[in-house]
Amino acid sequence: MKSPSYFLYARKSTDDEEKQLLSIPAQLDELRSFAQKEQINIADIFIETKTAKIPGRAIFNEMIGRIEKGEVSGILAWHPDRLARNAVDAGKVVYLVDTGKIVDLKFPTFWFQNTPQGLFMLSIAFGQSKYYVDNLSENTKRGHRQKIRMGIYPNHAPLGYLNDRLKKVIVVDRSIISIVKQVFELYSSGKYTLEQISLFLFKHHIQTKNNRPHPKDRIKEILTNPFYYGYFRYNKEMYKGIHEPLITKKLFDRVQEVIIDRGRSHPKQPLNFPFAGLIHCGECGMMITAEQHIKYYKTINHGQLFVYYRCSKKNLAVKCLQPYITEDVIIPQLNQLIQKVSLSTDDYEWFQTKMNEDVQKETSSVRGIVQEFKNEINGITQQLDKLLNIFIDNLISRDEYLKKKEELMSKKKTLEEKITTLEQSPYKWLEPMREFFDNALQADKIASDNTNLFEKREFLKKTGSNLTLKDKRVDCDWLNQWAALQRRPTSRNRVQREGFEPSQGYPDRFTVYCDWPLRHLWLYINYTIEVPIQL
């Protein structure tokens, strides 16, 4: 008598819950021994390495399709949970047994007989398999929630970190920590593209599994991940982590600014247009572009080159009516703006002396400024508590809650870093302020020299000027420190104890800086904390 034919099906997924189950080779050895003992003829072998939690296994479906065609009368597997851990696939097997397509099922670890009682027990086995998966999923989620409450990221560590499987925490990967930091520093300079960052990583042997440079989306994912400054997102929500940050929040914010700026539409310009892509239209907000034309005259044998700047007019919501303007008209206006933030040699030398004196002597404590930051952090903590209560009461949507929470936590981290900077580096203001005055000293020279227009462009970019063009007039919004310098009085007769004499029509915000410790001035300008001024 010929032995009945069966399909042998062996499956193992890479899921953590199946690590203790038999490997594929072990299953095959056990099943072949069982088949020989039971005199079962194996028609074909199907091996699959995929979870059975959800329907859609290609090899399993292929086997079921061949069974429906009547190729064999049964299936041989290690246990019913190898065939199905979901209701759809389990229902397929039970239905094929009901309709006679499957005459028998053989399992070394489970008894099955094609009777109503046997089908009932098979359904229970499939149900238990599904319950095991569902319960395991809930336990996993519960474990993740506990990790999150402890500040531990519950997923795979991002680039630059490693999962410590013994301590169940994420630690820094010391072998590439400096490279990852360089990635953020390089991109924050605005001189590198995502492709160049990818090639930088590739050069240092950080690549994909296929030994290729990482795609741009992967690089952007790294650069926008708050994990690197000590926070992490899970299920779209922001949490504070206990892992070691690789970068500061300030550097992370600079990177985000570059990413946002790169995302805007910047028309490509030839190299002979120094102010293209630098100025925005004051009417519609689009970027100012440039073009050149040659005008020919009958009285001379050659033409004259003219460079025109105009709005790109890409704002479809606004009909921009701004006219053209020649480069010759723009240059004097830019020179005038640059001149407003220049320092004379005498003033520059006075400031250098003042800075040296401030460093040599004991300056006023920054305790008051730190306390202001701490008070603001306490206020943010209260706002977060109120926000959570509002969300729990269903007064705002989840998306609104997550967006506001991330915004508040980002601001809180920024303030925490400022406190650390002020407490640990009380003289960190010195070098940035020296650079500030060095640039201001060069402003007059840059404004007077019209031979190198790109130098003017770089100065305006360095000072963070926000240039707009409207009605053929160029206007500028300076960054805090440059705005303060621009608003100083034109008459700056120094008085030994009273500082500069204020001129009529000028605010006092910068006029008192000679008698004010320069460290406090720098903090005041950059952190916009209203420090009491002793006149």
> Chain-centre distance of CA 316, in angstroms?
30
Beta bridge partners of 47: 10
Token pair 């008051």 is at which residue? Answer: 368
Measured at the alpha carbon of residue 520, what is the angle toward residues 486 and 408, in degrees to the nearest 5?
Answer: 90
Tokens standing for 16? Answer: 């953590």
Spatial distance between the Cα atoms of 390 and 401, rounded to a whole number of angstroms: 9
Q: Provide CB contacts within 8 A for 458, sequence distance 6+.
A: none
Give the residues across from 295 on adjacent strands: 304
Distances (CA, A) of 16 to 139, 147, 258: 13, 17, 40
Phi, psi of 293 (to 5 degrees): -135, 150
Of 48, 26, 35, which is closest to residue 104 (Cα–Cα)? 35
| pLDDT value of position 510 | 37
User: CA-based diameter of the chain, in Å?
Assistant: 119
CB-CB neighbours of 490 under 10 Å? 7
- How far CA 475 is from CA of 35, 280, 336, 464, in Å, comes to 87, 10, 10, 13
d(CA 24, CA 13): 10
Specify the CATH class of 5-141 in words.
alpha beta
Q: DSSP secondary-structure letter at 283? A: T
**pLDDT, position 534:** 31
| Cβ-proximal residues to 491 (8 Å cutoff; 6+ apart), any chain | 501, 503
Amino acid 354: pLDDT = 77
**CA dist., res. 75 & res. 63, Å (int):** 9
Torsion of CA 403, 263, 465, 481, to 10 degrees: 40
For residue 531, count CB atoms less than 10 angstroms from its CB and return exposed for 0-12, middle for 13-18, buried for 19 or more: middle
Give the pLDDT score at 119: 84
User: E strand or H helix at 45, and its extent?
Assistant: strand 41-48
d(CA 222, CA 263): 16
pLDDT tens string, the chain, 535 residues long: the values are 456 789 999 988 765 444 446 688 888 988 999 998 888 899 999 999 888 888 888 999 999 999 999 899 899 998 888 898 888 888 889 999 988 899 889 998 888 888 888 888 888 888 877 777 767 666 667 666 778 888 888 889 999 999 998 888 899 999 999 999 999 999 998 888 898 999 999 988 898 888 889 999 999 999 999 999 999 988 888 899 999 999 999 899 999 988 987 776 555 544 568 888 889 999 999 999 988 877 766 665 555 678 899 998 888 888 999 999 999 999 999 999 888 888 888 888 877 887 777 666 545 556 777 888 899 999 999 999 999 889 888 888 998 999 999 999 999 998 988 888 777 766 666 677 788 888 888 888 999 888 888 888 888 887 767 899 999 999 988 776 677 676 554 333 333 333 433 333 333 333 333 334 444 455 444 443 333 333 2
Nearest partner of 43 among 81, 75, 78, judged by Cα: 75
Decide: residue 320, CB within 10 A, 0-12 exposed, 13-18 middle, 19+ buried: middle
Question: Alpha carbon 307 to chain centroid distance?
Answer: 39
Phi, psi (deg, nearest 5) at residue 61? -65, -35
DSSP state of 287: B
- Domain 161-263 fold is Hect, E3 ligase catalytic domain fold (3.90.1750)
